[in-house]
Amino acid sequence: MATTEAHNDHHHKETFIQKYVFSQDHKMISKQFLITGMTMAVIGMIMSTLFRLQLGWQGESFAILNFFLGDKWAPDGILDPNMYLALVTIHGTIMVFFLLTGGLSGTFANLLIPLQIGARDMASGFINLLSYWFFLASSVIMISSLFVETGPASGGWTVYPPLSALPQAMPGSGMGMTLWLVSMSLFVVSSLLGGLNYVVTVINLRTKGMTMTRLPLSVWALFVTAVIGVLSFPVLFSAALLLIFDRMFGTAFYLSDIHIAGEVLEATGGSPILYEHLFWFLGHPEVYIVLLPALGITSEVIATNARKPIFGYRAMIGSILAIAFLSFIVWGHHMFLTGMNPFLGSVFTFTTLLIAIPSAVKAFNYITTLWKGNVRLTPAMLFSIGMVSTFISGGVTGIILADSALDINLHDTYFVVAHFHIVMGLSAVLAMFAGVYHWFPKMYGRMMNRKMGYVHFWVTFICAYGVFFPQHFLGLAGIPRRYYTNSEFPIFDDLLGLNELVSVFAIIGAMVQFLFIFNFFYSMRRGQRATQNPWGSNTLEWTTPVEHVHGNWYGALPTVHRWPYDYSKPGKEQDFVPQDVPLEEDEMDGGEGH
């Protein structure tokens, strides 16, 4: 679309609304996703500190709880058990979907795909605009559910029926749950619109010379993520739709043999397990929708800052594809204990453990990329190394949970909480920070303050492990997740100290994020001016001018001659060779190895 004449567009004056609100420019949409995602993340993070107050000092009164939640949900500053579940639920929903799916993919797919493949914009600017506005609408609806009288959805972020289907089962299954479902349906629409656009753009709009095997790994990851999303999100949509039917129109897709609130429920004949299958058919690929962009960002940041080619480029692509394929045949490991046929459980154990192989390849390749590198420890690089660490330490506990036999005793305990927060939550959040520090100069033409970045990294990284590492021990002690308090049972009393420690780390870790936000907005206006290619990077986004122009490049689109990882190539004067530099005579393209 509009490729040839687009580079003249910067002469054309846009109104404020066209430029900042209903923008069709991928760079502006990327910023909109980022700021919306950050806003949602702050809300999700505050929620987590509120319930951490309850978990750290169980049943104690905190004025801040009353301040945020009012007399209904925190009378005398003591958190109400229903509100505890609501906070846990909305925290999970926001973090998984709004920050790490919409926020992460929305920001970086929009920013990086056109810039790194050498395209003027996304395939359809209008669909891209719609994708953002559906995302915003779903965010607003999700947040508005916090203000309904019966409280927001509280059945856990997986919202299993019958709990979520029946308003009699808990207050959160009333209006709040309806809004949750409406919000998620819009979210799916946003994801699909965005995802289709990313896929089409990568396939059709690569510039001359940009073959699939010259794509930066970030684009590969974002591309495969979009494919996974397009294939799996519709299944969540159908799950949500059937749940809406069960809630409003008296159907019984998920309901059977229920006697609740002193009444026989007449809708019968379905099965809640159907919902679990539909949900996890998205839910597990969703983990990789969150993780793959994080791995892609990390690949770019590590190669650039190690001044060294990413090790095993083709193996990295292969492992992305292998992970994507396997992600569709492992969902049953969330359901080992639903009464499924044990043979089926064995199959899911097998497929799940297979994922460890491509994951191991990725981890070792990152480490080898550092070996004999010349590593610039920018804040982005520190976050990326941190991400490799959390990817490994969270990944290895996955080997235990994937084992159906071991899952019997660890299922739904804090061990699971520790595992997925480290491997999915921390890895993706750390990579997202890395991405923001790394591409901030591209987004805003200025550098983020490095010193503040260092403080932010260290406090975040230490607190992140401080929060989640001890939770393995809580899980091994048999404490179930989503417990409002575990002081009901004397067998858990000895572990209360550990809960306190976790909460202290959580609160410090949350506070330091405001330093990041300060740095972000401060640097946007006052930061040091960026040069065109501040990190000495090879990829095409750094060949565009610092100021943002429609169409991205003033002149013709760049032509690509080499893979993106020619860092420190022998015989070159500089320690990087951008992708648009032609090969010298007799020079081999580094990516063409066997």
Number of chain residues interacting with other proteins (CB under 8 A)? 140
575 phi, psi to nearest 5 deg: -90, 20
State how far the alpha carbon of 532 is from the alpha carbons of 503, 541, 548, 576, in Å.
43, 9, 11, 14
8 Å CB contact between 179 and 207: no
Query: Residue 149 or 494: which CB sits closer to other proteins?
Result: 494
80 phi, psi to nearest 5 deg: -75, 140
Report if residue 259 touches other proteins, rule: CB under 8 A.
yes
8 Å CB contact between 305 and 378: yes
8 Å CB contact between 177 and 525: no
* Both structure tokens of 542: 């750094």
Query: Residue 8 or 528: which CB sits closer to other proteins?
Result: 528
Which region among 222-230, 233-241, 281-289, 476-484 touches other proteins (by CB under 8 A)?
A: 476-484
168 secondary structure, DSSP code: T
385 secondary structure, DSSP code: H
Report if residue 75 touches other proteins, rule: CB under 8 A.
no
Report if residue 325 touches other proteins, rule: CB under 8 A.
no
Give the residue, chosen from 14, 76, 257, 584, that forms a contact with other proteins under the rule CB under 8 A.
Answer: 257
Query: Residue 136 or 370: which CB sits closer to other proteins?
Result: 370
Give the residue, chosen from 490, 525, 547, 585, that forms a contact with other proteins under the rule CB under 8 A.
Answer: 490
Report if residue 32 touches other proteins, rule: CB under 8 A.
no
- How many CB atoms lie under 10 A from the CB of residue 147? 10
Give the residue, chosen from 175, 271, 445, 546, that forms a contact with other proteins under the rule CB under 8 A.
Answer: 271
- Within its chain, how far is the Cα of 163 from the centroid? 27
Nearest to 432 by CA among 91, 95, 89: 95
Query: Residue 193 or 291: which CB sits closer to other proteins?
Result: 291
Which region among 39-47, 198-206, 237-245, 337-345 touches other proteins (by CB under 8 A)?
A: 337-345
Give the residue, chosen from 6, 42, 321, 356, that forms a contact with other proteins under the rule CB under 8 A.
Answer: 356
- Within its chain, how far is the Cα of 290 from the centroid? 4
Give the residue, chosen from 229, 296, 332, 470, that forms a contact with other proteins under the rule CB under 8 A.
Answer: 470
Which region among 118-126, 218-226, 361-369, 432-440 touches other proteins (by CB under 8 A)?
A: 361-369
* One-letter amino acid for residue 510 of the chain: A
| Contacts with other proteins, 508-537, as mask; x by CB under 8 A | x--xx--x----------x-xxxx--xx--
Query: Residue 137 or 452: which CB sits closer to other proteins?
Result: 452
Query: Residue 5 or 488: which CB sits closer to other proteins?
Result: 488
| Contacts with other proteins, 534-573, as mask; x by CB under 8 A | xx-----------------------------x-xxxx---
Instruction: Say if residue 480 is exposed, middle or buried (CB neighbours under 10 Å; 0-12, 13-18, 19+).
Output: middle
* Both structure tokens of 205: 């709009």
Least Cβ distance, residue 460 to other proteins (angstroms): 11
Report if residue 418 touches other proteins, rule: CB under 8 A.
no
Which region among 117-125, 139-147, 491-499, 541-549 touches other proteins (by CB under 8 A)?
A: 491-499
Nearest to 318 by CA among 462, 198, 217: 217
Least Cβ distance, residue 151 to other proteins (angstroms): 11
Report if residue 127 touches other proteins, rule: CB under 8 A.
no
Report if residue 587 touches other proteins, rule: CB under 8 A.
no
Tokens 């019958």, located at residue: 162
- The whole-angstrom separation of Cα 580 and Cα 317 is 22
- The whole-angstrom separation of Cα 136 and Cα 351 is 36
Report if residue 409 touches other proteins, rule: CB under 8 A.
yes
Least Cβ distance, residue 530 to other proteins (angstroms): 7
Nearest to 105 by CA among 9, 179, 191: 191
Least Cβ distance, residue 445 to other proteins (angstroms): 12
Report if residue 445 touches other proteins, rule: CB under 8 A.
no
Report if residue 392 touches other proteins, rule: CB under 8 A.
yes
456-479 burial, b for 16+ CB within 10 Å, e for fewer? Answer: bbebbbebbbbbbebbbebbebbb
Which region among 37-45, 131-139, 400-408, 545-553 touches other proteins (by CB under 8 A)?
A: 400-408
Report if residue 85 touches other proteins, rule: CB under 8 A.
yes
Nearest to 150 by CA among 83, 249, 88: 83
Least Cβ distance, residue 589 to other proteins (angstroms): 10
Query: Residue 6 or 406: which CB sits closer to other proteins?
Result: 406
* Both structure tokens of 159: 């919202």
Nearest to 520 by CA among 421, 435, 426: 435
Give the residue, chosen from 494, 547, 585, 586, that forms a contact with other proteins under the rule CB under 8 A.
Answer: 494
| Contacts with other proteins, 282-321, as mask; x by CB under 8 A | ------------------------xxxx-xxxxx------
Which region among 24-32, 210-218, 421-429, 492-500 touches other proteins (by CB under 8 A)?
A: 492-500
Report if residue 124 touches other proteins, rule: CB under 8 A.
no
Least Cβ distance, residue 337 to other proteins (angstroms): 5
492 secondary structure, DSSP code: G
549 phi, psi to nearest 5 deg: -125, 150
Give the residue, chosen from 18, 77, 469, 546, that forms a contact with other proteins under the rule CB under 8 A.
Answer: 469
Q: Tell which positions 148-177 bind other proteins, by CB under 8 A.
A: 155-156, 160, 162-163, 166, 169-170
8 Å CB contact between 405 and 74: no
Tokens 């965005």, located at residue: 194
Nearest to 516 by CA among 434, 441, 442: 434
- The whole-angstrom separation of Cα 101 and Cα 87 is 19
Report if residue 251 touches other proteins, rule: CB under 8 A.
no
- The whole-angstrom separation of Cα 324 and Cα 222 is 12
Report if residue 73 touches other proteins, rule: CB under 8 A.
no
Least Cβ distance, residue 170 to other proteins (angstroms): 5
- The whole-angstrom separation of Cα 5 and Cα 551 is 9
Query: Residue 26 or 247: which CB sits closer to other proteins?
Result: 247
- The whole-angstrom separation of Cα 259 and Cα 194 is 43
Q: Which residues pair with 576 in a beta bridge?
A: 567
Least Cβ distance, residue 371 to other proteins (angstroms): 6
Report if residue 119 touches other proteins, rule: CB under 8 A.
no
